[in-house]
Amino acid sequence: MPLFGTDGVRGLANGPLTADLALTLAQAAAVVLGQGRTAEARRAAGKRLTAVVARDPRVSGEFLAAAVCAGLASSGVDVLEAGVLPTPALAFLIADHDADFGVMVSASHNPAPDNGIKIFARGGVKLPDIVEQRIEAALGAPKLQPTGAGVGRIRRFADAEDRYVVHLLASLPHRLDGIHVVLDCAHGAASGVSPETFRDAGARVTVIGADPDGWNINDGVGSTHLDVLSAAVLEHGADVGIAHDGDADRCLAVDATGKVVDGDQIMAILAVAMKQRGHLVDDTLVATVMSNLGLHRAMDDHGIRVLQTAVGDRYVLEEMNAGGYSLGGEQSGHVIMSEFATTGDGLLTGLHLVAEMARTRSSLAELASVMTVYPQVLINVRDVDRTRAATDQGVADAVAAATAALGDTGRVLLRASGTEQLVRVMVEAADVHAAQTHADALATVVRERLAL
């Protein structure tokens, strides 16, 4: 089974993800990412490789980040230790400091006992599959073992947070004066930097979920528990609520009535605003196949093309990089604004969303009305042979029949899970009854045709 998953190496801390693995993984990364012309030119000039390391506040991050730093320094890499910061802050700092690569210790929206290691290449970009495979292969190969003056140094990246805040504020097209924002920081990596940045941008800020103790990250708060944020917005009479996940690469929102505004709606708002300002490259938005049909309808109404990718922000990034596009993301709240970031950035997204409220003097509900959300029913059909989902004729006939019945008022999507023996059946329709009826019927066919 491959070590790297869809977003780095992840697992139970001190279970599969041990300090030994973190150290060895860092040493292997030093070997692989220390290759290439740029690295060779640095060494020729008498310079060592440099890496930035950051983490979220979960307790296991303390020993895992220490192991990563040790592995890098023992391989001759100079380490800038940035402490607790969001994943997108690390990505920005790698590019801003012209570091050779960086390592983030975080399990994102997972519960506190889990942790993960994400490695970013020069420029703050995620590693392609082939490079991850090389690092995994290098785990059992000889490591770099300099001695004396050849070992790396570990230094504190003292102004890391300040650099990131200045970058975020400089990106804004409009200040946030007059907007009351409730921020839910998920007791995660954004607990310090997000409230500071929103206040510096002019917003009135009420903060929840910003008291990390190492164990409470994502625990009943953040982007996976929006009911807490909705209640806080209503309690405080705020204009908008912004929710991050544990490493703050996501942003979801709620309007003044407590209604959720998801990633699709946020992308719709930003796409229209960016097109108006001439910042939406080729009038194109990149989204995954799971994005709501309403997003496609809304973008079509505004002359914006939607390119679809497989599920996962890495596939969105690949398409954006290939075409030079400026906006993309997922329904889950991973939104990528490539003019300012190389990965999903929950703070950047939230700031630009609220800036559009301030610029237009509109409520979030008014802005979100640009898109009608089609009812979406998702059924996970378990204990079936997922490998036959794409080839079984009976399943294909059922999908075709449902698609024909819905016409242009809905759509059908079947996806085999990449990790479990299940098939996901997703149906969108103009009304929830039609979506549920077709989804139930398709799930029955899948269950009968693909039974193990």
- Every domain of the chain and the residues it spans: 9-158, 163-368, 376-449
Q: Which of 60, 74, 75, 108 is catalytic?
A: 108
CATH class of 9-158: alpha beta
Distance CA 119, CA 210 (A): 26
Residue 191 annotated to the active site: no
Number of residues written out for the chain: 452
Can you point out the beta strands (E) in 356-430?
376-382, 410-416, 422-429
Q: Which residue in 390, 383, 381, 386 sits closest to 445, CA to CA?
A: 381
Beta bridge partners, 75, equal none
Q: Over its length of 452 residues, how does the chain's per-residue pLDDT go in tens digits? A: 689 887 889 999 999 999 999 999 999 999 999 887 776 777 767 778 999 999 999 999 999 999 999 999 999 999 999 999 999 999 999 999 999 999 999 999 999 999 999 999 999 999 988 999 999 999 989 899 999 999 999 999 999 999 999 999 999 999 999 999 999 999 999 999 999 999 999 999 999 999 999 999 999 999 999 999 999 999 999 999 999 999 999 999 999 999 999 999 999 999 999 999 999 999 999 999 999 999 999 999 999 999 999 888 889 999 999 999 999 999 999 999 999 999 999 999 999 999 999 999 999 999 999 999 999 999 999 999 999 999 999 999 999 999 999 998 899 999 888 767 889 999 999 899 999 999 999 999 999 999 98
DSSP structural state of residue 92: H
CATH number of 163-368: 3.40.120.10
Q: Is the pTM of this model over 0.75?
A: yes
Q: Do the domains spanning 9-158 and 163-368 agree at the CATH topology level?
A: yes
Residue 56 marked ligand-binding: no
Cβ contact 5:129 at 8 Å: no
Helix residue ranges per DSSP H, 5-128: 19-33, 37-44, 60-74, 87-96
The confidence score (pLDDT) of residue 313 equals 86
The fold of the 376-449 domain, in CATH, is: TATA-Binding Protein (3.30.310)
Residue 200 marked ligand-binding: no
Residue 249 marked ligand-binding: yes
The secondary structure element, H or E, covering residue 307 is: strand 305-309
The confidence score (pLDDT) of residue 226 equals 97
Helix residue ranges per DSSP H, 145-292: 160-171, 193-200, 226-236, 263-277
Residue 60 marked ligand-binding: no
Strand, helix or coil at 317?
A: helix
